[in-house]
Chain A
Amino acid sequence: MTTSETMARASAKSSGHTYAPKDGLLLQVADLHVEFHTPDGIARAINGVNFDLYEGQTLAILGESGSGKSVTAQAIMGILDMPPAVIPHGQIRYCGEDLLTMDPEQRRRTRGPEISMVFQDALSSLNPVFPVGWQIAEMFRVHRGMNKSDALERAVKLMQRVQIPAAKERVKAYPHQFSGGMRQRIMIAMAIALDPAVLIADEPTTALDVTVQAQIMALLQELQEERQMGLILITHDLGVVADVADKIAVMYAGRIVERADVFDLYRKPAHPYTKGLLESIPRLDQKGQQLAAIGGLPPNLMRIPNGCAFNPRCKYAQDVCREDRPALLEVVPGRESACHFAEEVLNG
């Protein structure tokens, strides 16, 4: 990082942020519900999600398709299509201010300088008819009111920061002229351009090859440490999470079913679903044996089972699981699980 970049960043910090976190607490999601009203019925995508995000923290939201992890990200960003989506209740407080009750224009201005997002598919997230440098520079022109040449200069610096080789020459190139990994770097450059306090990465490496995935994750981690951003990493990949996350929230059928420090969670899961996920990864000592698969399928969000949503697939399920929906409670200090038999799972 060059000195001019540091200075530019410092000035951006003083001018760019309207909100200041208290005690490092950036984001508080409280009792968030999201429903999709479709002609076939109401799909309850998120059913009461709570979490906090602090400066410099990496929170991983882990879940399978339909778990509500991406909807959570979209709700925080305010990019849900409403309708069909409806947020019946819940709060998303950014530095104490509830984004959901904020005036739309005011909220729009938080996207970019305060909270920004990296998407899975970099090719469809970039506009194919404009040069990438122009697209990055646009961020500075719109939000910072810079003139064209200054903005382009900043764009080149950012491209260098995300390690795009020959950035000066490639600033005028179009998205299709970059490889998948390079496009994801450009997306990251755009996301961090205005020095956001919170960065949401929605499956940032799923579309990439393993060898490129490692580079991108390393870059994200580096940027996060350098800028002390709060990073929400949304993924289904247990491997990626283990490498970078501080805390993990495991989602199932629109709820957080387990939340813990990354080391604790991998050492000893406290929810049967987490346990099942970890066990279903092929391991060396299982060669030639059956994998410990979780039976059954994730529930249809229009007909989430009564009681614990996981009960039809759960080895531990008893009658109580079919009747009472377990709340996310602390099992041992620092470990929360939404399971009636959390202690048994943890100790068993």
Chain B
Amino acid sequence: MTEASTIAVGAETSAPSQGQDEARSLTSDAWRSLKRNPIFWVSVVLIVVFVLMAAWPSLFTNVDPNAAVLKEARQRPNGNAWFGRDIQGYDIYSRTIYGARASILVGVFASIVTVLIGGAMGVAAGYYGGWLDSVVSRITDIFFAIPLLLGGILLMATFPNTVDSPYLVVVGKVVLVLSLFGWPGLARLMRSSVLQVKPNDYVQAARALGASPWRIIRAHVLPNAVAPMIVVATINLGVFISVEATLSFLGIGLTPPAVSWGVAISDAIVALRTTPHILLFPSLFLSLTVLAFIMLGDAVRDAFDPKSR
């Protein structure tokens, strides 16, 4: 109705204007459209379930994830063990529930930290340019040259966990390592989208009005440059969880008794041909988590793009 009703400039709108008196902003409009988006609600429900699982696994199961019943190893799903048992005879359901904590902590926190570091670096390099750009870009290149896995192995092997390292230290170390080598991609992405946004006249207009650099970044550059990073960051979430698995598989990531989906997946691969259900359940949960975050990212990105409404 927009075009049709504005045929004559300044003409009255034909449609009754609802809520004209309240001033609307992008945030309130975004929330309004998010509320109407079923994909948003599906992803939120999934994420809430996974977060509950991570925080209070005992809500979902009272089976000890570290109780191995060796004689029942490789059992298929049954009334007693809903998801069956793995090669060690652990209850897969219980281990999948308990594994959520480590996996989600690692995935979510590594994603958040990389977004913060990468975003800040990218904005600094792209917006300010000059020598700052050169310095930041070279640092990015150096970290970019080190593969995530290799860097992880190096660092984790240098500072190994001991048996009595507290749980949060073990997880924190993995998050730190993944963040350290995971941000350069996001920084590059952010830098290039900032460079695309910066020459737009609306940025110049804000400068001409005397807006501070911080205001320009916050109000004009970030909202228009952040979308590609959101997409990549949500995909990265899955990558981080699987790298954590590889590190754990090599014995330098999370160490038992900590359980994670990654560990479960690497353990299951040996028995893939004979007992695929061992692999199925932790992978399914991992995929669902990643999917939930990707859907959330997409929904949020669309909500903040007025053109998609």
Interface residues of A (CB under 8 A from B): 295-297, 299-300, 302-303, 305, 312-313
Contacts and interface: CB of A to CB of B under 8 A. Distances in A.
Nearest to B1: A303
A297 B9 contact: yes
B61 interface: no
Contacts of A302: 3
Given A295-B9, A299-B7, A312-B7, 17 more contacts: A295-B8, A296-B7, A296-B8, A296-B9, A297-B3, A297-B6, A297-B7, A297-B9, A300-B3, A300-B4, A302-B3, A303-B3, A303-B4, A305-B7, A312-B8, A313-B7, A313-B8
B155 to A, nearest CB: 43
Contacts of B8: 295-296, 312-313
A116 to B, nearest CB: 35
* 9 A-B pairs with least C-beta separation: A300-B3, A303-B4, A312-B7, A296-B8, A296-B7, A300-B4, A297-B7, A296-B9, A312-B8
Interface of B: 3-4, 6-9
B5 to A, nearest CB: 10
Contacts of A297: 3, 6-7, 9
Q: Does more than half of chain B's interface fall in helix, strand or loop, or is it mixed? A: loop
Nearest to A305: B7
13 contacts: A295-B8, A296-B8, A296-B9, A297-B6, A299-B3, A299-B4, A299-B7, A300-B3, A300-B4, A302-B3, A303-B3, A312-B8, A313-B7
Between B4, B7, B9, the greatest number of chain A beta carbons within 10 A of the residue's beta carbon is seen for B7
Contacts of A303: 3-4
Contacts of B4: 299-300, 303
Q: Does more than half of chain A's interface fall in helix, strand or loop, or is it mixed? A: loop
A299 B8 CA distance: 10
Contacts of B6: 297
Nearest to A304: B4
A254 B7 CA distance: 17
A295 B9 CA distance: 8
A302 B3 CA distance: 10
B240 to A, nearest CB: 35
A150 B246 CA distance: 62
Contacts of A295: 8-9
B133 to A, nearest CB: 25
Contacts of B3: 297, 299-300, 302-303
B8 to A, nearest CB: 5
A302 B9 CA distance: 19
Nearest to A297: B7
Nearest to A311: B7
A303 B4 CA distance: 7
A254 B250 CA distance: 67
A260 to B, nearest CB: 27
A305 B6 CA distance: 13
Nearest to B11: A296
Nearest to A299: B7
Contacts of A313: 7-8
Nearest to B6: A297
Contacts of A312: 7-8
B121 to A, nearest CB: 32
B6 to A, nearest CB: 7
A195 to B, nearest CB: 43
A300 B6 CA distance: 10
A13 to B, nearest CB: 49
Contacts of B9: 295-297
A296 B6 CA distance: 8
A302 B4 CA distance: 9
B15 to A, nearest CB: 13
Contacts of A305: 7
B307 to A, nearest CB: 11
A253 to B, nearest CB: 12
A297 B5 CA distance: 11
Nearest to B7: A312
A285 to B, nearest CB: 26
A296 B9 CA distance: 5
A88 B282 CA distance: 53
Contacts of A300: 3-4
Contacts of A299: 3-4, 7
